[in-house]
């Protein structure tokens, strides 16, 4: 697709940008540009643009504001050791974006256009890609922009990519997280949107996340909505259970769990190493019992933003328990180091995982 580029005349100076990039935190230091592509039912994808980052003008009747037709992705670009820029498995994000689009009755964007849009933004905002521990977090998303109050799939959409410079997700090193088991709230149900990366899933999880904070926890873990027994995932991260006998369990995808690319990559690495990995239902009662008996030695949560985060403690209305010594286990640490090195192209990984961006 041909993108028309307009440079931002108000782009930050090298000095101002360097200042911001020194301590970017997560999700608040945005680059100078954005990519947009419009879609209409009659004209399809059109007006692909790389342009100054600015506010959208939205009609108050825009469908997304009322019926929440919105999906998104999250992926990172890294500064390679040779000075170039790479992305990690972006075609997987493109594929999942289209799976989300189908579930939400939204138009599909060709995979190569999705990847190209990310590359166009990286090229124009290349100076915002940090070295060291940091990365450029890309946020492609799409929303219904048609001004119309009626319950039907919209006939106009906007696809957009924005980006922010991010530091390490956990300030002061990766501390183990504590998680709260939600009693009343579910994230997803059979036939629902749990496997789609849509904003609505997050909206539905926020009250449970607030409850977790009230209980002194960092994150909430959701159980299945039918039996309220099987462990599914956190609000935005998948879970892995590592046992003392070396085996690994992760809950199976089945429509209610978001198919994480970090999850899939870890599964691949473990299986290639010959580790016995089961994708099987794991109950909260087993979790509590295995933690108590010492059968379970480590648990971690994973996703693009944090990569791997050890889970040290679980709190629930049925009582609290600690996993292992409550700290970050050696296998979690080793997996994080290994995956991070592969993502950054500092260690060899499976063919095709590292996507070099032509600058
Ligand atoms: C994005 C997301 C994940 C992690 O997916 P990655 O592709 O690994 O970043 C896990 N769970 C939920 C609910 C998510 O939205």
pLDDT one-digit tens code per residue, 16-67: 999 999 999 999 999 999 999 999 999 999 999 999 999 999 999 999 999 9
Residues with Cβ within 8 Å of residue 136, at least 6 apart in sequence: 31, 76, 77, 78, 85, 122, 125, 128, 129, 130, 163, 164, 165, 166
Which residue intervals of the chain bear CATH 3.20.10.10? 177-343
Is the CB of 303 within 6 Å of ligand 1? Answer: yes
Residue nearest to atom 6 of ligand 1 (CA): 260
Q: Inform me whether the pLDDT recorded for 175 exceeds 90.
A: no
Nearest residue (by CA) to ligand 1, atom 12, is 236
Ligand 1 and 197: CB distance under 6 A: yes
| Residue bearing the CA closest to ligand 1, atom 13 | 236
Q: Could you tell me the pLDDT band of residue 171, with boundaries at 50, 70 and 90?
A: low
Measuring from atom 15 of ligand 1, which residue has the nearest CA?
Answer: 236
- Residue 327: pLDDT band (50, 70, 90) is confident
74 CB under 6 A from ligand 1? Answer: yes
User: In this model, does residue 173 exceed pLDDT 80?
Assistant: no
CA of 258 from ligand 1 middle (Å) equals 6
Q: For 264-271, what is the mean pLDDT?
A: 98
List where CATH 3.30.470.10 sits in the chain. 4-166
Indicate if ligand 1 lies below 6 Å from the C-beta of 92.
Answer: no
**CATH class for domain 4-166?**
alpha beta
Q: Is the CB of 343 under 6 A from ligand 1?
A: no
**Residue 250, beta-bridge partner list:** 279
pLDDT greater than 90 at residue 244:
yes
250 lines ligand 1 (CB under 6 A): no
Which has the closest alpha carbon to 188: 245, 264, 253?
253
Q: Is 304 in the pocket of ligand 1 (CB under 6 A)?
A: yes
Query: How many angstroms is it from 11 CA to the middle of ligand 1?
Result: 31
Rg (C-alpha) for the chain, rounded Å, is: 21
Q: 207 C-alpha to center of ligand 1: Å?
A: 19
What's the gap in Å between 317 CA and the centre of ligand 1? 26
> Chain-wide mean pLDDT for the chain?
96
Strand bridging mode 85-88 / 70-72: unpaired
Q: Which CATH superfamily includes the segment(s) 177-343?
A: D-amino Acid Aminotransferase, subunit A, domain 2 (3.20.10.10)
Alpha-carbon distance 15 to 18, whole Å?
A: 5
Question: Looking at ligand 1, which atom is closest to the CA of residue 96?
Answer: 7
pLDDT band per the 50, 70, 90 thresholds, residue 169: confident
CA of 140 to the centre of ligand 1 (A): 14
Q: What is the DSSP letter of 332?
A: H
């Amino acid at each position: 697709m041909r993108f028309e580029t307009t440079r931002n005349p108000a782009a930050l100076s090298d000095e101002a940008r360097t200042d911001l990039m020194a301590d970017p935190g997560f999700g608040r230091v945005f680059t100078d540009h954005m990519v947009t592509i419009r879609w209409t039912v009659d004209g399809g994808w059109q007006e692909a643009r790389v342009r100054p980052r600015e506010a959208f003008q939205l009609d108050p009747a825009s469908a997304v504001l009322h019926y929440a037709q919105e999906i998104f992705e999250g992926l990172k670009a890294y500064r390679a050791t040779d000075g170039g820029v790479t992305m990690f498995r972006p075609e997987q994000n493109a594929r999942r974006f289209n799976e989300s689009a189908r579930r939400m009755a939204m138009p599909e964007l060709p995979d190569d256009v999705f990847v190209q849009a990310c590359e166009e933004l990286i090229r124009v905002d290349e100076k915002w890609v940090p070295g060291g521990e940091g990365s450029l977090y890309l946020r492609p998303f799409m929303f219904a922009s048609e001004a119309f109050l009626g319950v039907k799939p919209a006939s106009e959409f906007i696809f957009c990519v924005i980006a922010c410079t991010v530091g390490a997700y956990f300030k002061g090193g990766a501390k183990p997280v504590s998680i709260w088991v939600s009693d009343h709230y579910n994230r997803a149900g059979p036939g629902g949107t749990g496997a789609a990366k849509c904003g609505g899933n997050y909206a539905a999880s926020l009250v449970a996340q607030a409850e977790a904070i009230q209980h002194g926890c960092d994150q909430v873990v959701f159980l299945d909505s039918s039996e309220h027994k099987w462990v599914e995932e956190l609000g935005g991260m998948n879970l892995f259970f590592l046992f003392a006998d070396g085996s690994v369990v992760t809950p199976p995808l089945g429509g209610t769990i978001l198919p994480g690319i970090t999850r899939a990559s870890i599964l691949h690495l473990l299986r290639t190493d010959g580790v016995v990995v089961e994708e099987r239902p794991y109950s909260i009662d087993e979790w509590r019992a295995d933690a108590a008996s010492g059968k379970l030695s480590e648990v971690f949560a994973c996703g693009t933003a944090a990569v791997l985060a050890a889970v040290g403690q679980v709190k629930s209305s049925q009582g609290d328990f600690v996993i292992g010594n409550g700290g970050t286990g050696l296998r979690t640490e080793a997996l994080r180091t290994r995956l991070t090195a592969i993502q950054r192209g500092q260690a060899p990984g499976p063919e095709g995982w590292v996507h070099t961006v032509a600058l």
